């Protein structure tokens, strides 16, 4: 699974690239068979003005499912990355669980479950 990282208007602090890669691999690694690629974009929305403006956008291209995209804005880059990784992991688990679960309504009416 390939993870691309893009930084816009954010100082690439030493270790930021490694931190983002490690954090995302931890969050979505168990789903790697379902993911074609992951893209993480970290940006400083307000530039030098300061404030709660560090945004982390995570996009996952999945096999046989719609893409997963999340944008989280926090004061700190690492906090934004952490929350985005947590959220994308939960949503991905939920989508895969729904995909595997048979359609209960169809089964109740005797129709075969959609694959």
pLDDT in tens for each of the 115 residues of the chain? 788 888 887 766 678 888 999 999 999 999 999 999 999 999 888 776 666 688 999 999 998 888 999 899 998 889 999 999 999 999 999 988 887 766 555 556 666 655 5
User: Given this model, what pLDDT does residue 39 score?
Assistant: 94
* CATH number of the CATH domain containing 27: 3.30.160.100
Inside any domain, residue 26? yes
pTM: 0.78
Predicted pLDDT of residue 59: 94
Residue 115 falls inside a structural domain: no
User: Looking at the domain assignment, is residue 110 inside a domain?
Assistant: no
- Domain membership of residue 91 (yes or no) is yes
Rounded distance, CA 38 to CA 86, Å?
14
User: Is residue 19 in some structural domain?
Assistant: yes
6 Cβ partners below 8 Å, 6+ apart?
A: 39, 40, 41, 42
Say if 107 falls within a structural domain. no
Number of domains in the chain: 1
Domain of 36, in residue numbers: 2-102
């Amino acid at each position: 699974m390939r993870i691309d990282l893009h930084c816009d208007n954010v100082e690439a602090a030493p270790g930021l690239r490694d931190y983002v890669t490690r954090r995302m691999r931890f969050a979505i690694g168990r789903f790697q068979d379902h993911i074609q690629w992951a893209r993480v974009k970290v940006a400083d929305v307000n530039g030098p003005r300061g404030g709660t403006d560090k945004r982390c956008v995570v996009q996952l291209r999945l096999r046989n499912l719609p893409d997963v995209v999340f944008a989280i804005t926090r004061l700190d880059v690492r906090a934004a990355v952490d929350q985005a990784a947590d959220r994308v992991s939960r949503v991905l688990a939920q989508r895969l669980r729904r995909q595997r679960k048979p359609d209960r309504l169809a089964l109740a009416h005797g129709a075969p479950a959609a694959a």
